[in-house]
Amino acid sequence: MKNIRYQTLAIDEPAEHLMVVRFNRPEVRNAISTQVGRDMLDLFTRLIADASPYRCVILTGTGEKAFCAGGDLKERNGMTDAEWLAQHHLFERMTLAVIDCPIPVIAAVNGAAFGGGCELALCCDFAYASASARFALTEVTIGIMPGGGGTQTLPRAVGMRRAKEIILSGKPFSAEQALDWGLVNKVCPPEKLMDETLAIARTIGDNAPLSVRQAKRSIHFGLQMDLRTGMFFEIDAYNRLVPTEDRREGVRSFNEKRKPAFRGR
């Protein structure tokens, strides 16, 4: 991905196997325009097709004020119904591409995460947040409703009753509330957010990449099944790791009392 450039995203690779993706429209609080949708869809479609160079992705925003302020309402002003629906279809595909990414995606919420920005954070596998971050699903205040997965991902994170309160009121809430309710995993001082997120990303990246991908897949799909079916799905995912070189290297390194050198095969 090093040679790929996007109009609305800044891509960085701060360490081997690690990618940082930044929404790069700070002048509009990193709002989601049509071009953001195109860029995000292209990037994550590429990762779905071949994520082998990477073991973890961090999604964050440029600047200190906003992770992502949601849909770009200035761009949407005056759209016909057909144009609005066509744009939203693009956003739907973008959202599913983030969810379908085979490697872990961590949100580093550095500021406001409103509307579609909050939904994109929820599409990630988990999230760390700056203490100054604010969250909201404000769609009902402007005559629409969450359409980037919010009515599905938020209840799975915080429970149905809390999700209804958040979505139906449209009221903002703090990073500490997001932590208490289960929307984010950790709240960090603003100046330490990326260091903390990079640290957990590196920890994940040091683990066996095929194991991490299979575990993520098992959790994701297993939660959509009854318990017994989910356990069978888990065993199938587990069995695919038995013949891998990484499985043999993991056991060998343990017995030789050294750090394993995983190769993803």
pLDDT one-digit tens code per residue, 100-122: 999 999 999 999 999 999 999 99
**pLDDT value of position 1:** 67
**pLDDT value of position 4:** 82
**Whether 153 and 250 share a structural domain:** no
**Whether 132 and 191 share a structural domain:** yes
**Whether 44 and 172 share a structural domain:** yes
**Whether 148 and 128 share a structural domain:** yes
**Whether 91 and 212 share a structural domain:** no
Question: 204 by DSSP, 3-state: which?
Answer: helix
> Which residues pair with residue 126 across a beta bridge?
106
What distances in angstroms separate CA 214 from CA 19, 43, 134, 245, 261, one per listed residue?
A: 20, 21, 33, 15, 18
**pLDDT value of position 3:** 75
Cα first-last separation, the chain: 21
Answer whether residue 263 is part of any domain: no
**Predicted model pTM:** 0.94
Answer whether residue 262 is part of any domain: no
Q: Is 64 a catalytic residue?
A: no
**pLDDT value of position 2:** 65
Q: Give me the catalytic one of 27, 64, 119, 245.
A: 119
Are 93 and 49 within 8 A, CB to CB?
no
**Whether 44 and 87 share a structural domain:** yes
What distances in angstroms separate CA 95 from CA 10, 58, 117, 124, one per listed residue?
A: 18, 15, 11, 10
**Whether 200 and 251 share a structural domain:** no
**Whether 97 and 157 share a structural domain:** yes
Contacts 24+ apart (CB under 8 A), 70-77: 70/31, 70/32, 70/114, 70/115, 70/116, 70/117, 70/118, 70/138, 71/31, 71/32, 71/115, 71/116, 72/28, 72/31, 72/32, 72/33, 72/36, 73/31, 73/142, 74/28, 74/31, 75/31, 75/33, 75/34
**pLDDT value of position 46:** 96
What distances in angstroms separate CA 219 from CA 115, 232, 235, one per listed residue?
A: 26, 12, 12
What distances in angstroms separate CA 161 from CA 155, 170, 214, one per listed residue?
A: 8, 14, 31
Domain of 194, CATH number, reads: 3.90.226.10
Domain of 218, CATH number, reads: 1.10.12.10
Answer whether residue 49 is part of any domain: yes
> Which residues pair with residue 108 across a beta bridge?
128
**pLDDT value of position 264:** 87
What distances in angstroms separate CA 11 from CA 39, 103, 185, 200, 203, one per listed residue?
A: 11, 16, 24, 19, 20
**Whether 62 and 88 share a structural domain:** yes
Answer whether residue 244 is part of any domain: yes
**Whether 220 and 153 share a structural domain:** no
Are 136 and 171 within 8 A, CB to CB?
yes
**Whether 66 and 98 share a structural domain:** yes
Q: Give me the catalytic one of 27, 75, 83, 139.
A: 139
Answer whether residue 200 is part of any domain: yes
Are 81 and 44 within 8 A, CB to CB?
no
Average pLDDT across each block of 10 residues of the chain; the chain has 265 residues. List them in order: 86 94 97 98 96 95 95 93 96 97 98 98 98 97 96 97 98 98 98 97 96 96 95 96 94 91 90
Answer whether residue 58 is part of any domain: yes
**Whether 163 and 248 share a structural domain:** no
Answer whether residue 168 is part of any domain: yes
By residue range, what is the domain housing residue 247? Answer: 208-255
Answer whether residue 1 is part of any domain: no
Count structural domains, the chain.
2
**pLDDT value of position 238:** 94
Q: Is 249 a catalytic residue?
A: no
**pLDDT value of position 182:** 97
pLDDT one-digit tens code per residue, 185-227: 999 999 999 999 999 999 999 999 999 999 999 999 999 999 9
